[in-house]
Amino acid sequence: MAAAAESAGRPAGSIRLLAVSKTVEPVRLREAATAGQLAFGENYVQEGLAKIGALAGLGLEWHFIGPLQSNKTRPVAAHFAWVHGIDRLRIAERLAEARGTVQPPLQVCIQVNVSGEASKNGVGPGETAALAHAVAALPGLRLRGLMAIPEPTEDMALARRRFAALRELRDALNRGGLALDTLSMGMSHDLEAAILEGATIVRVGTAIFGERQ
Ligand SMILES: *Cc1c(COP(=O)(O)O)cnc(C)c1O
């Protein structure tokens, strides 16, 4: 991350590391926390809630990064600080309602499908502005930015173009009156390309914890 930040001419501190800990045992998250890593990303609601309970008191920040079904919004709104994969208004509305206004707002990102596969989660680039304005208006949520999981590719130039597309979309939304400070993009295999194109959060699992079982 530091090397990529340096080649991009960006301060290393402008990119946050989210340690993706799905399938990783809580004892290993505790080790990571001891080493100073406090932000963790989980994909599955039950597994995430179990770890949040097991590691309470360490001051960890929990990000929900998996696909979210509408019947699971309540525990996610109650126990996580961030949700990265918002791709429809109904989910955002349910999260907002469940979060309420007593807790600080839930930090959210809209997931955009930048590589255009029909099977992938995420809203199409052309539908992002309408969804972003609707989500930004919900009490209980704070829309922070955009997230993407582009198709894996060995082609660095292609990877960069997809990440650049997400950045350009974010910049266009900001010109349209929003104030989005977050680009959640880049994983173990493509974090360099993402950082070169402006990632502010990289979501890294395998490169920290090793291959998942
Ligand atoms: C699993 C996962 C990651 C981490 O992937 P690695 O290749 O292990 O770094 C990042 N983001 C999301 C949404 C994931 O599901």
- Residue 213: which pLDDT band, with cuts at 50, 70 and 90? confident
State how far Cα 54 lies from the chain centre.
22
Q: What does the pLDDT look like over 149-188, one tens digit per residue?
A: 999 999 999 999 999 999 999 999 999 999 999 999 999 9
Q: How far is the CA of 183 from the centre of ligand 1 (A)?
A: 15
Strand partners, 184: 147, 201
The model's pLDDT over 8-62, given as tens digits with 9 standing for 90+, comes to: 999 999 999 999 999 999 999 999 999 999 999 999 999 999 999 999 999 999 9
Q: What is the pLDDT of residues 187-203, one digit of tens each?
A: 999 999 999 999 999 99
Mutate to test the pocket of ligand 1, among 203, 208, 209 (most ligand atoms within 8 A of CB): 203
- DSSP for 37-105, please give it: --EEEES-HHHHHHHHHHTTTS--EEEE-S---GGGHHHHHHH-SEEEEE-SHHHHHHHHHHHTTTSPP
H/E stretch holding 18: strand 16-20
Taking the CA of residue 147 as reference, the ligand 1 atom at the shortest distance is 13
Atom of ligand 1 nearest to the CA of 22: 1
Q: If you measure from the C-alpha of residue 147 to the centroid of ligand 1, how many angstroms do you get, rounded to a whole number?
A: 12
pLDDT in tens, 74-111: 999 999 999 999 999 999 999 999 999 999 999 999 99
Instruction: Set out the domains of the chain in order of their start, with CATH numbers.
Output: 2-206 (3.20.20.10)
- Position 118 confidence tier, pLDDT thresholds 50, 70, 90: low
Q: Give the pLDDT score at 192.
A: 97
43 lines ligand 1 (CB under 6 A): yes
Is residue 187 within 6 Å of ligand 1 at its C-beta? yes
Distance 85 CA to ligand 1 centre (A): 12
Q: Give the closest residue (by CA) to ligand 1 atom 12.
A: 65
Cα of 12 vs centre of ligand 1, distance in Å, is 21
Q: Is the CB of 206 under 6 A from ligand 1?
A: yes
